[in-house]
Structure 1
C-alpha cells in the first residue's frame, strides 16, 4: 500500500520500508545492487496504509499507520558492540529486532525498537507524515512532529512530551457534518506552520498555526472544485458568478474575490447549493438567484438562494444587497439543511434555529424535537468560505420538484424572459424523447413537444424568445416557433417550424451542441462528425417548405475543425468588424475561437476566420462538456464593466475542471 526510502544511520546504504495488506512492515536493504529482505516488523492488525521515514540525530524513525486505527513509531539505531547494558531483572525491556550489515570492511549491528503506539483515531488512518527539517538562523531544525490523516474526518498533530518523552496529541483539526468520508492524505508546509489535507470529496483543507498561540490552528481560504466530470456551466443573468453541476453529485457556485489591499482577482467556490444523491447533468438559471437542475433521476429540482448567501455574496463581491435584490431578502429563509432521513434541501428560517425547551419532566415533546438535526449556522463571511462551511452552511433551499419525464434528465434550458423552462431526458424511443415545457410562475407543464427519436442533447431558446432549438443523438435538429395563439391564457404555444431528417441532414453523427446569435437571426450546430454549421433564413430562392427545412438553410460553409465537436457558444458581443464570435470546444480538450460573417456569395468560402486555438495550459485535458460566454462586456470582479475590450468565456470539461478565459475582442 505504501513504500518509503531512507539510508541506514551513519551510512549510504539505502533501506526500503514496505507496508502491505499482510499487516506487516517489510524492511529491505540494498546489497550488491539489489534489495534484499532483512526484517519484518509485526504489530499492526489490518492493512498498512501509510509509512514514512524521518532522520533525527544519529537515529532514523519510521511511522506507520493502518486500518486498525493505530499509528506505530519505530526507532532504528546502530548498536555499539563495545557497550554493555546493565539492567535490573524487573525492568521492562522492549523487544529488539536486530540485523547486521557489512559496509567497507566494517560490520555494524542495527536494532529496530517499537518507540510508541498512538491511539486517537476512530477509523482507518490513511496517511502519516513527519514535519520536514528546515533552516533557522543557519541551523537545521529537526522537530519531531507527526501528522496523521484518518477516515474519521480528523487530522491529528502528534509530538513527544518535553519532560517524559511520551508521544501525545497536540492538535486535532477536521470536518464537522457534511457528506464526506474523511481524509486520504496530509502534508506539512516546509516550516510546519500550515497543514494541508486531501478529503474524500476531492477538496483541499488548509489550516494555519496562530503565532501567538501555537496550539490554535485556523482554517484558511483554499481553491476547490469538482472531483468528477463537470457537465454544465451557466453565468448568472448579471454575469457576476457562475454555477456548475457535475458527476460528483454537487452543484457549485464560483465567484471572483479581491483580497484587501491587492489588485489581483481570484475565483473561489463560495457556495455549494446542492449536494445530491445522483450524478448531475444540466442546469439553467431561472433568475438572478434561482436555478433548475437535472440529474440521473426523473425529477427536475428548483433552488432559490437563501438570505445568508445573498448577504455573504454582497460582502465577498462588494456589491450592495440593495443592488442585488432590493427588499426581497426580508422574506427569504436564512439557509437550508438536509433532514436526517430526507433527500431535499429544507428551508430554515430564523425560528428554526432557536432551541426548543423540553417539558417539565425533561422529556422532549415529540419525536421531531428529539431528533432535530439543524446543521446550518448563519455566518457573516468577508472572504470565501472554507470547506467546512461549504459542506455545512451553503445549501440552497429546494422550492419545487418537477415530475413528468420517464428517464434520467439530460438537458434543460430557460428562455431570456425567464418565463419558460424546457427539459428533456435520456431516450431510445420517440415517446420518451419529447421536450417538456414548464411555466416558471406556476411550475406546471405547458406543453410536450414530440419530434426526435433519441435523446435530445441540448436546447437553446433564441434571445428574442420566438424560437426553441433542439439537437439530438438522432443527428437532426428541430426548431419550434412560439405562436402566441391564445394571449388570453398568457401561455405560449410552440409549433414545429423547421427540422432536418435523413434527406436533409448535413450532420452524419450525434449533434452535441447548439446556440443562437445575439440577434436571433442564426443558430449554430456542432457534431461528433467534426462539422460546425450556421443555419438561418438566408433568403435562398431554392428554399421550400416541403422538405421540413422550410425557409431555413445552411448560411455558412461547413467548418471542419478536425476533431469531434462537443460544445459551441456564440458571444453576446460582436467583434469590432461586426462579425459573430464563436467558441468551439473539442473532444481533445481544446477550445477554438472563430469569427463568422455572412458573405454575399453562398456558400461562402472565406466566411470562417480562425482567431485563437488554446495551448496546453489553457485547454482541458479531456473533452470539453460545455461553453458559456458572459452575457456582457468586461471581466467579472474587475472595475472594467464599461471596458468593451474584454470578454469572458467559461468552460467545463470531463477533466473535472472549470476554466474562465479572458478574451480580448479587439485582437480577434
Structure 2
C-alpha cells in the first residue's frame, strides 16, 4: 500500500495521539484510521499518512465512528460508533488486535471518559445519546473490561464529554457536560457499584461540549493548629455560548475541621458549590472566565507537563476556525490568549469561499525528546490543520498534514499520461493526487472543484483538461491553470504539462470564484489594482501567488483557496442527475448518462468536445439508469472503437463508433445478469472485441464478439461470495493476457489473471484484510503508466475508492 487518504469525521473527540508509538488514530466514516509515526529524527514529518484502517473482524460493517481515544499511557485504543458499539483495540508490533467489543447500548455513543489524574487507573465511562452512562473497570482475572454500574442522567440531558477524577481506590468523581447549559457532577462508589448525581453547576448559557481537568499541587492547610492536605483540581469547560470557564475543585477528607471565613467579601467572590460523600468533602467555585472565541468552543485541553498552577497553559479550538493558547499572567493572575492560530472567519462560512468551516477537535502534542510542540485540529472538510514550533522558536509554523475525502468516493480518473489522479466524492469536491519526486507516498496537490452539489463522476480529456458531473444535471469542463502546471512540474516532475491546450489556446493563469457564484472563473491576467499581499477574497482576488512559494505539498488553506481550476464550458441536456461519463480515445466525443426509470431518459447523450454541442443522435437501448459507460481500450492493431454501457435493467449495450459523431448499435444483451450490473471493463486486443461485466448477482462475466456474425456471447464467469461492485483491467501483453482487479460490496479486493484467448480466470492475489477498506468498493482505476521495479517486475499503480470515504493507492 503506497498511500491511504480518508477524511476525518465531524465529531468531538474524534481523534487522539499515542505518546508511546507517536501515532494518530481518528474516525473516518465507519473505520478508525491509523497513521505512521508523526515524528522522525528531524521533528514533525509532513509524510505522515494513514497506513491502516481498523474494521471489525466479524465482517459486520460498523456504524459511523463518533469517538476515538487512547487509554492514557497505554497502547489500548477505544472507538465508539452510532450503533452503540465500543471496540477496544491493542496495538502490537504486527498490527492491531481487537481485544473486546462492548455493546452497552443500542443508541449512538456520544462520548467516552477516562481517568485524568491517574494514568494507572484503567476505568472508563461511556455516554450514549439517550442519556445513560455506563461505568467500566478492568477485570484483571479475566483480562476484560466489565460494567460496574450505570446511571440515567436527568431527563433531556445526554453526555457530550466526561472526565473521571480518581479520589481514592473506592471513590471517583465524574465531571459531565452535555445537552444543557450545566455541568453535572457525579460520584461513584466502587465497592457498592453506585453512581449518584451530587450537583449541577450552572453558569454557561448553552450546551457544554468540552471539559478537561488537571490536578495541581496539593496544598497543606492549617486549621486549629492541625495541618490537613487539600487536593486541588482545575477544570476548564467550553460551551456553545463561546465562553470558556475555569473551575476549581477542592477535596478534603471528611474528618478535616470546617473553617468558616466570616470576613469574606461575598459580592467579590464566586459562589461555592459544596457536596459530601462518605469520606470526602468537595467544593467547586468559578475561578475565571475566558472570552475570545467568536463562535462555539469545540475543545479545551491542558498542556500536560506541569502540575503547578502558575505554569498551566490551556489550548482551545472553536467553530470560528481559530485555535488559542491561554496562559495566566504571573503578576495579576489574569488569563489571556498568548497565541492565536487559524483564521478570522464568520459563523456559517462555506468552504467554497475558502473558509475551513470551523474546528471540531484539537490536540496539543509535546515531544520532549525533540523539543517540539505540535497542535493538530480537524475541520469541516475532513482535513487536519497542523502547526509546529521547534525549540525556542517564537512562532508556530503551518505544516502539511493529513487530509482526504469527507464522504464516499464516487469516481476516479487518471490523467491521459497516468501521472496524476482525479477523484470525486459525495463531499462535493474533485481532488487531484500526485506523487512527488523522490517520494514513495502520494499527496493531494489540488482541489480543482469545490461545488454545491454531490459529485458523481469525473473523466480526463487530456493531461490539462477534465470533465465532471453530478447531482446538478450539468457536465462542467475544466482547464488546468498555469500555476498548477508549474507546481506539478516543480514537485512531481511532470514536464508534459505545457502552456498549450488541445485547441491551441494557452492555459489560463488561475481560477477564482465570484461572490455568490458556483462557476470557477478563468483569469488570464492579474487584475488591475490588486497588489501582492492584498486580500482579494471578496472579488475573486488573484490566486496564482498563493502556491508559487510553497516548499512542500500544499496545506489545506492553499488547497481550498488557490488550487481551483477555471471552468471553461457547461454541457446541458440531461433531465436528471448524471451517473456516468466517458471520453473517446481521441478526446473528441464525451458520452454521458443520467438517472432514469423510463426508457426515454435512459439514453446516452454525446457531446462534441471541439464545438461543445450535443451530437444529433441519442443512443437508446436501456430502460433504467445506466451505471457505467466505457470506451474500448486503444489498440494499435484495431482502429475500431466501441462504447459499452451497463445498466440497472440488467442489460448491456455495445455500440461501434463509425467515425465522427456516428455510432452503430451492435448488441443489446437482455438479462446479461440476473441483478443490477454495476461496472464493466474492456479486455480487447487486436481483432478480439471482449469485455467484462460485474453485477449484484455476485458474478463477473467474460463476453466476446464474433467479428463476422457480430454476435456477443458469454465465454466464462467467476462467482463471488457477495455482490461485485467495481472492476478494472490492464493489458499485460498482446497475447490476450490481462490483469483484472475486482472489488466487492464488503470491501474485499481480488486480483485475477485473465487469458481471453483461453477464456480462463486465475486468482493471483487476495488483498490482505489490513489493507482493505471498511465498506463497499465504489470504483477501481488502473493507471496506464507502467513502473518497473529493481527486480525487473512490471507494476501498475491502482487507485481504489470506497464508500468508507477512503482512497487507496497501491502498486500491483
TM-score, normalisation: structure 2? 0.71
The structure that has the greater radius of gyration is 1
Confirm whether residue 536 of structure 1 aligns to residue 704 of structure 2: yes
Residue 427 of structure 1 and its aligned partner are, at CA, apart by 0.8
- Equivalent residue for 1:94, pick from 236, 258, 270: 270
The 3-state SS of whatever aligns with 1:482 is strand
What is the Cα deviation at residue 642 of structure 1? Answer: 11
- Contact kept? 1:346, 1:398, Cα under 8 Å: yes
- When the two chains are superposed, the root-mean-square deviation of aligned CA atoms in Å is 2.8
Q: Does 1:615 align with 2:764?
A: no
Cα distance in 2 for residues equivalent to 1:141 and 1:194: 22
For 1:494-505, list aligned pairs within 5 A: 494-501=663-670, 505=671
Give, in whole Å, the separation in 2 of the partners of 1:631 and 1:642. Answer: 20
Assess, with a 3 A threshold, how the Cα gap between structure 1 residues 611 and 142 changes in structure 2: closer, same or farther.
farther
Relative to its length, the structure with more strand (as a share) is 2
In 2, the alpha carbon distance for the partners of 1:592 and 1:11 equals 53
Deviations 1:158-214 (A, max 9, x none): 111222221110111114651542111111114471111110121111111243433
- Measured against aligned partners, the alpha-carbon deviations of 1:146-167 in whole angstroms (never above 9, x if no partner) come to 1112111111111112222211
Match of 1:448 among 618, 623, 626: 618
Residue 208 of structure 2 is aligned to residue 38 of structure 1: no
Aligned to 1:514: 680
Determine which of 308, 317, 335 is the counterpart of 2:492: 317
Q: Who is 1:286 aligned against? A: 461
Q: Does 1:209 align with 2:386?
A: no
Does residue 543 of structure 2 align to residue 376 of structure 1? yes
C-alpha displacement of 1:109: 2.8
**Equivalent position SS for 1:324:** coil
User: Relative to structure 2, which stretch is displaced further, 216-225 or 88-97?
Assistant: 88-97
Residue 643 (structure 1) shift: 5.2
Cα deviation digits, residues 556-605 of structure 1 (max 9, x gap): x2211221111111113349x862111111111111111111455xxx6x
1:463 to 621, 625, 633: 633
| 2:425 matches 1:238 | no
1:478 is the counterpart of 2:636:
no
Greater RCO, 1 or 2 (C-alpha within 8 Å, sep 6+): 2
- 1:123 maps onto 2:295 in alignment: yes
One of 227, 244, 247 as aligned partner of 1:74: 247
Match of 2:107 in 1: none
**Counterpart in the other structure of 1:195:** 375
What is the match of residue 586 of structure 1? 744
More off after superposition, 587-596 vs 642-651: 642-651
Decide whether the 8 Å contact of 1:230 with 1:652 is kept in 2. Answer: yes
C-alpha distance in structure 2 between counterparts of 1:120 and 1:346, whole Å:
36
Question: Shift of the alpha carbon at 1:142?
Answer: 9.8
What aligned pairs does 1:253-652 form with structure 2 within 5 A after superposition?
A: 253-257=432-436, 264-320=439-495, 323-325=496-498, 331-352=506-527, 354-355=529-530, 372-374=539-541, 376=543, 378=545, 379-380=547-548, 381-446=550-615, 447-464=617-634, 466-484=641-659, 491-501=660-670, 505-517=671-683, 519=685, 521=688, 522-538=690-706, 550-555=710-715, 557-574=716-733, 579-598=737-756, 607-634=760-787, 644-652=793-801
SS in 2 for 1:519: coil
1:118-161 CA-partner distances (Å, limit 9, x unpaired): 11111111221222237xxxx99995121112111111111112
CA distance in 2, matches of 1:190, 1:155: 16
Q: Which segment is superposed worse, 342-351 or 375-384? A: 375-384
In structure 2, relative to structure 1, the CA distance for the partners of 1:264 and 1:315 (3 Å cut) is closer
Single out whichever of 643-652 and 625-634 deviates more from structure 2: 643-652
Q: Whole-Å Cα distance in 1 between the matches of residues 676 and 286 of structure 2?
A: 63
Contact preservation (8 Å) 2:238, 2:244: yes
1:193 touches 1:209 (CA, 8 Å); kept in 2? Answer: yes
Could you tell me which residue of structure 2 aligns to residue 63 of structure 1?
236
Cα pair distance change 1:618/1:158, threshold 3 Å: same
1:285/1:371 Cα in 2 relative to 1: closer, same or farther (>3 Å)? closer
SS in 2 for 1:617: helix
Number of residue equivalences: 609
* Aligned-partner Cα distance in 2 for 1:239–1:251: 17
Distance 1:641 1:386, change over 3 A: farther
Question: SS at 2:406's partner residue?
Answer: coil
Corresponding position of 2:164: 6
Evaluate the alpha carbon distance shift between residue 224 and residue 643 of structure 1 in structure 2; reply closer, same or farther with a 3 A threshold. farther
What is the Cα deviation at residue 37 of structure 1?
Answer: 1.4
Q: Partners of 2:343 and 2:701 in 1: how far apart?
A: 50
Distance in 2 of aligned mates of 1:151 and 1:344: 27
Q: Residue 573 of structure 1 contacts residue 632 of structure 1 at CA under 8 Å; is this kept in 2?
A: no
Corresponding residue of 1:363: none
Q: CA deviation at 1:492?
A: 3.2
1:186 corresponds to 2:362: yes
For residues 41 and 416 of structure 1, the distance between their equivalents in structure 2, rounded to whole angstroms, comes to 68
User: What is the alpha-carbon distance in structure 2 between the residues aligned to residue 318 and residue 478 of structure 1?
Assistant: 41
